[in-house]
Amino acid sequence: MKHPMIVLIGPSAVGKSSFLDRALSESELNLYDVVTYTSRAMRPGEKDGVHYHFVSQEKFEQLKEGDFFVEWALVHGNYYGTPKDQIREAWGRGQTVIMDIDVQGAQSVKRLYPQAISVFLMPPSVDELRQRLIKRGPAGDLELRLENAQREMALADHFDHVIINDEFEAAYKEFRKIVEKASQNQ
């Protein structure tokens, strides 16, 4: 049984969801996007069970104690965790698992699943990232997110691929090739 996995990493607002949405719309890639769990509040437009499974901090802690997660992390002061069951089920269906998690999570996942291919999505500059964060809407934690972004960007070399998300189509093409290869090689 093949167990292909792609981990998409990169700072908040770098464009990870556009890559994911596009890749998921291409059914021949046969991807399964893990819906991770978080204790953060829902943002306008987000849906429970779609963007995340939104749970209370207490519930998250229960799940964590119950060995429900492959990995979990505290990001921007909130809990985030990747559930084991969805990964198992997706592989059982012959799909390639894809997930959008933070750098700490990606490092834990790589330790557990050495075949996982990690792709770091990099903004063209910190200034451009700031603009994208501002455009995305009221984020009281803008400075915190920018600080974390710079810390994450300093770790980019630890991952298998780095893609600069300047021009979307060109960057996506590069990403798609990596996904195809990861799915075929397992």
Interface residues with ligand 5GP (CB under 6 A)? 12, 36, 40, 71, 73, 75, 80-82, 100-102, 104-105
CB of 32 to ligand 5GP, least distance (A): 14
Shortest gap between Cβ of 99 and ligand 5GP (angstroms)? 7
112/185 with CB nearer ligand 5GP: 112
In degrees and rounded to multiples of 5, residue 48 shows phi and psi of -65, 135
CB of 74 to ligand 5GP, least distance (A): 9
CA nearest to 149, candidates 171, 165, 167: 165
Q: Which is nearer to ligand 5GP, 77 or 92 (CB)?
A: 77
Give 30 or 104: the residue with its C-beta nearer to ligand 5GP: 104
To the nearest whole angstrom, how small is the minimum distance from the Cβ of residue 29 to ligand 5GP? 20
Strands 96-100 and 37-38, by their bridges, are unpaired
Euclidean distance between CA atoms 89 and 161, whole angstroms: 26
- Min. distance of Cβ 93 from ligand 5GP in angstroms? 20
Cβ closest to ligand 5GP, residue 14 vs residue 171 = 14
Residue closer to ligand 5GP (CB basis): 15 or 105: 105
